[in-house]
């Protein structure tokens, strides 16, 4: 039995590293593209590594990039386990940021720590509303969440444009003819403390703590259990007495809330104001989509999402650095990003095959009957 246990542990570790191997495979394909662009791939990838991990500052940048990915990722863990697809992260992040910024601009006389706390709560609430609406529409009106979240994303951008060039505009900008659509800068005391001289801010720590809390939520609370139950089998849950619509709403609401918090932390930890260029990704950096990928890299598990977010953040930061160093078109970085996602997502099959093989070995060792479907399910559901 001991022997099985040890190899089981290493085997699981390798499973966890499969995304890394897949990333390397994608980068290998990227090397071919680089060669076509007459760029030395070795130099390029060295630059990528340097940009992500090469110095304390680089690593800090990686963590800063990873923070919104992690926050959105843990939200995605909740929604996907509730069998709800939330691609509204972009919009939820924006709305959360707007709520949070508003707090900082309105309650200027309150002490710093209080404003930050209120702002975080406001961001959480803003995202919850923006995620809760699609949840409500799905649960009670059968409006598919892919449709509603895609629409809500676009609506959020226009709302942001409207507010930032109107009611929330920086008073100093309002005087000028050019009117840059940005809010006033948050006062010094309202900003999340940083680990100088890098840009690493407290938000990163908050994200990690929340990841742990979400793990506890999903596997140690009734709410989490019910969300997962509805996600596994809505019919059965209904028969078991769980009010399915309510938990569909909760799944999207919570998922949106974390995205909203990501937006709030982005404003209070990095930008110190909200500014728009008319697109969602100008503010979010596509964290709403990349966060989904990060969650998947982490097998939809909040704790594993932490290294997954760091890895993905490293990739994004490193690739941008590579772009600068080698002066390759940024389009290459986007294409590379896509390749990595496809490869990692495709590597899932090996993880599952290996898991099945492990299960078969265990059963074989124990000399008992082949596992029933229920047992297979339970084994797969076991928290590492």
Partner 1 sequence: MKKFAWFLTLLLALSVVLSACGTPAATQAPAPVATEAPAQPTEAPAVTEAPAATQASAAEPFKVAVVMPSAKNDLAFSQSMYDALLRVQEEMGADQFQFVFSENMFVVDDAAAAIRDYASQGYNLIIAHGSQYGSSLQEIAPDFPKTSFAWGTTVDTFGQPNIFAYEAASQEGGFVNGAMAATLSKSNVIGVVGPIETGDAKLYVDGFKAGVLSVKPDAKVNVNYIGSFSDTALAAEAANTHISAGADVLTGTAQMVVGAIGKAKDSNVLWFGTQSNQTSLAPSIVVASQVYHWEGILKEMIALIQSGTLGGKSFKADLANGGEVIEFNPDSNVAADAQALAETTIKGITDGTITITLP
Partner 2 sequence: MISELFSVTVLVGILASGIRLATPYLYAAIGETFGQKSGVLNLGVEGQMLLGAFAAFYVTFTTGNLGLGVLTAMIVGAFMGVAMAFVTVNLHAEQGISGIGFYLFGLGMSDLLFQKLLGRVETVKGFQAIYIPGLSDIPGLGEIFFKQNLLVYGAYLLVPVAWFVLNKTTLGLKIRSVGENPDAADSVGVSVAKIRYFTIILGGALSGIAGASLSIALLNVFQQNMTSGLGFIAVALVYFGAWRPLGVLAGALLFSMINSLQLWIQVLGIPVPSDIAVMMPYVLTILVLVATVSRVRAPSALTKSFEREN
Q: Report whether 267 contacts 183 (CB < 8 A).
A: no
Residue with smaller CB distance to partner 2, 216 or 380: 380
Q: What does 368 interact with, of partner 2, partner 1, none (CB < 5 to 8 A by kind)? A: none
Q: How far is the CB of 288 from partner 2 (least distance, A)?
A: 10
Q: What does 345 interact with, of partner 1, partner 2, none (CB < 5 to 8 A by kind)? A: partner 2
DSSP 246-301: HHHHHHHHHHHHHHHHHHHHHIIIIISS-B--SSSHHHHTTHHHHHHHHHHHTTT-
- CA geometry: angle 205, 225, 86, nearest 5 deg: 65
Q: Which two tokens stand for residue 228?
A: 């997962």
Binding site for partner 1 (CB under 8 A): 7, 10-11, 14, 17, 20-21, 24, 45-46, 49-51, 53-55, 57-58, 61, 64-65, 157-158, 161, 165, 172, 176-182, 185, 197, 266, 270-273, 275-279, 281-286, 317, 320-321, 323-327, 329-331
Residue with smaller CB distance to partner 2, 137 or 310: 137
Q: How far is the CB of 350 from partner 2 (least distance, A)?
A: 9
Residue with smaller CB distance to partner 2, 80 or 102: 80
Q: How far is the CB of 178 from partner 1 (least distance, A)?
A: 5
Residue with smaller CB distance to partner 1, 14 or 342: 14
Q: How far apart are CA 258 and CA 303, in angstroms?
A: 15
Q: What does 183 interact with, of partner 1, partner 2, none (CB < 5 to 8 A by kind)? A: none
Q: How far is the CB of 13 from partner 1 (least distance, A)?
A: 8
Mapping DSSP to helix (H, G, I), strand (E, B) and coil, where does residue 368 land?
A: coil
Q: What does 349 interact with, of partner 1, partner 2, none (CB < 5 to 8 A by kind)? A: partner 2
Binding site for partner 2 (CB under 8 A): 33, 37, 85, 87, 137, 141-144, 146-148, 150-152, 154-155, 158-159, 161-162, 166, 289, 292-293, 296, 329, 331-343, 345-346, 348-349, 352
What is the distance of C-alpha 113 from the center of its chain?
Answer: 26
Q: What does 55 interact with, of partner 2, partner 1, none (CB < 5 to 8 A by kind)? A: partner 1
Q: Report whether 119 contacts 182 (CB < 8 A).
A: no
Residues listed for the chain: 384
Q: What does 320 interact with, of partner 2, partner 1, none (CB < 5 to 8 A by kind)? A: partner 1
Q: How far apart are CA 205 and CA 173, in angstroms?
A: 34
Task: Burial-class residue 120 by CB neighbours within 10 Å (0-12, 13-18, 19+).
Answer: buried
Q: What does 148 interact with, of partner 1, partner 2, none (CB < 5 to 8 A by kind)? A: partner 2
Q: Report whether 83 contacts 236 (CB < 8 A).
A: no
- CA geometry: angle 342, 79, 161, nearest 5 deg: 80
């Amino acid at each position: 039995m001991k022997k099985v246990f040890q190899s089981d542990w290493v085997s699981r570790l390798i499973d966890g590293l499969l995304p890394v191997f897949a990333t390397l495979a994608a980068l290998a394909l990227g090397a071919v593209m680089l060669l076509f662009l007459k760029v030395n791939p070795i130099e390029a990838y060295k630059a990528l590594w340097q940009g992500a991990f090469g110095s304390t500052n680089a690593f800090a940048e990686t963590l800063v990039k990873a923070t919104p990915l992690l926050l959105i990722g843990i939200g995605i863990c909740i929604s996907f386990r509730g069998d709800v697809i939330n691609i509204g992260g972009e919009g939820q992040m924006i709305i959360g940021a707007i709520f949070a910024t508003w707090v900082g601009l309105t309650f200027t006389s309150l002490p710093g720590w209080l404003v930050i706390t209120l702002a975080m709560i406001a961001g959480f609430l803003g995202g919850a509303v923006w995620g809760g609406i699609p949840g409500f529409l799905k649960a009670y009106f059968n409006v598919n969440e892919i449709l509603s979240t895609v629409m809500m994303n676009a609506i959020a951008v226009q709302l942001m444009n409207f507010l930032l060039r109107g009611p929330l505009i920086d008073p100093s900008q309002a005087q000028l003819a050019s009117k840059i659509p940005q809010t006033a800068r948050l006062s010094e005391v309202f900003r999340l403390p940083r680990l100088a001289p890098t840009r690493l801010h407290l938000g990163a720590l908050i994200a990690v703590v929340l990841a742990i809390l979400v793990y506890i939520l999903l596997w140690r609370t009734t709410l989490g259990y019910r969300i997962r139950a509805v996600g596994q089998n809505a019919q059965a849950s209904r028969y078991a007495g769980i009010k399915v619509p309510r938990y569909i709403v909760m799944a999207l609401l919570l998922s949106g809330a974390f995205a909203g918090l990501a937006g709030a932390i982005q404003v209070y930890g990095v930008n110190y104001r909200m500014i728009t260029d008319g697109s969602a990704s100008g503010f979010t950096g596509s964290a709403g989509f990349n966060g989904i990928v990060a969650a998947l890299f982490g097998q939809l598990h909040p704790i594993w999402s932490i290294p997954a977010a760091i890895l993905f953040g490293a990739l994004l930061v490193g690739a941008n650095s590579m772009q600068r160093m080698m002066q390759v078109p940024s389009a290459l970085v986007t294409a590379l990003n896509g390749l990595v996602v496809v490869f990692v997502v495709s590597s899932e099959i090996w993880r599952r095959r290996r898991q099945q093989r492990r299960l078969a070995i265990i059963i074989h060792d124990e000399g008992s009957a082949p596992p029933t479907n229920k047992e297979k399910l339970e084994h797969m559901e076991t928290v590492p």
